[in-house]
Amino acid sequence: MKKNILVIHTGGTISMFEDHETGAVKPGEENPLTSQTSTLSDLANLIIKEPFNLPSPHITTNEMLFLKDMIMEEYQNNQIDGVVITHGTDTLEETAYFLDLTIPHDFPIVVTGAMRSSNEIGSDGLYNLISSIRVAECDGAKGKGVLVVLNDEIHTAKNVTKTHTSNVSTFQSPQYGPIGIVAKQGIIFHHQPTDREFYSINNISKKVALIKAHAGMDSSLLFAIKDMQYDGVVIEALGQGNLPPATVEGVQSLIDENIPVVVVSRCFNGIVQDVYGYEGGGKRLKEMGAIFSNGLNGQKARIKLLITLSYTQNIKEIEEIFHH
């Protein structure tokens, strides 16, 4: 029997055209996916929604929250078996991870996009959409959290990141690799995620900054973040989670104000750990009260901190959630 798959188009290159005269890639009067998707009814019973058509740099946590609510509502009312979301690739990983953390169900949710717009040679949009529908209706995709499917690979929302500005194989999971492949004759999973997390939220009202450490960095941005009354900050620190000594005063001033400081690494492989005992070293930062995150990249740690802050402002509780 055909499965009921909810397909939500949100915009991005997959929904755009190239203007062959100017070379500009942009949305047109009509979303090309609307007619393309209607030709795919032999794959599944498709329920097609297009709540907005935005390039993904325009996506905020408001749209992410909207998608979460839309999926939960459709699940309650329409017996859907799976979901496919088409999305711009620039912030795709953030939306995918947001949904991963906030939707408690086990049915497959797949996020996809394209690197080439609908009328470019070698356009990958329709192909990725078909692959994603195939994954969303496959029993093996259940209970694995939100998945990201492009270029014949299946990645977890937690580990995947956009690694290349233009190549169709841009989505990779550094350190971990994909968990499955889309093959001509079937969907094959070769790895299983070890755990899942769920946080029930109804709104996002906090402000979290994301900054990157560099050689010779000082405390000025950290002081500015405190003065601008941010509710939290994620720092992409150096190596295993170290910072230049001149930032220590700024980190301390945030911690003194009870503003959580989450440390991730600007290295794209590996996890941060409190190893180094010199000034600004991870051990010293942790002793000061900085929270070490477990392998998330900066943009995803920011999404997690935003979600966590809707839940609790207690630094110890936030720390426990980040050790998960």
List the catalytic residues.
13, 89
Which one of the spans 88-96, 124-132, 269-277, 286-294 is the region binding ligand ASP (CB under 6 A)? 88-96
CB of 11 to ligand ASP, least distance (A): 6
CA distance 79 to 267: 42
Q: Which of 115, 129, 238, 321 binds ligand ASP (CB under 6 A)?
A: 115
Number of residues engaging ligand ASP in binding (CB under 6 A): 9
CB of 82 or CB of 113, closer to ligand ASP: 113
CA distance 46 to 121: 27
| The amino acid at 293 | S
CB of 123 or CB of 219, closer to ligand ASP: 123
Q: Which of 82, 108, 113, 298 binds ligand ASP (CB under 6 A)?
A: 113
CA distance 161 to 236: 15
Which residue's CB comes closest to ligand ASP? 88
CA distance 27 to 216: 42
CB of 187 to ligand ASP, least distance (A): 23
| The amino acid at 91 | T
Q: Are 12 and 86 in contact (CB under 8 A)?
A: yes
CA distances from 46 to 6, 13, 139, 149, 152 (A): 6, 21, 17, 18, 21
Residue 88 sits in the site that holds ligand ASP (CB under 6 A): yes
Of 302, 101, 108, the closest CA to residue 196 belongs to 101
CB of 15 or CB of 173, closer to ligand ASP: 15
Of 308, 174, 163, the closest CA to residue 234 belongs to 308
CB of 173 to ligand ASP, least distance (A): 18
| 253 annotated ligand-binding residue | no
Residue 13 sits in the site that holds ligand ASP (CB under 6 A): yes
The helix (H) or strand (E) run that includes residue 319 is helix 315-323
CB of 13 or CB of 219, closer to ligand ASP: 13
| 90 annotated ligand-binding residue | yes
Please give the residues from 51 up to 80 whose contact with ligand ASP meets the rule CB under 6 A.
Answer: 55-56
CB of 11 or CB of 298, closer to ligand ASP: 11
For 14, the token pair is: 């997959």
Give one DSSP letter per residue of 41-73, joined into a string: TTTSEEEEE-S----GGG--HHHHHHHHHHHHH
CA distances from 37 to 5, 85, 129 (A): 12, 12, 8
Which one of the spans 41-49, 86-94, 277-285, 288-296 is the region binding ligand ASP (CB under 6 A)? 86-94
CB of 148 to ligand ASP, least distance (A): 13
| 100 annotated ligand-binding residue | no
How does DSSP classify residue 293? P
Residue 178 sits in the site that holds ligand ASP (CB under 6 A): no
Please give the residues from 217 up to 246 whose contact with ligand ASP meets the rule CB under 6 A.
Answer: none
Annotated binding residues, written as ranges, equal 56, 89-90
Binding site for ligand ASP (CB under 6 A): 12-13, 55-56, 88-90, 113, 115
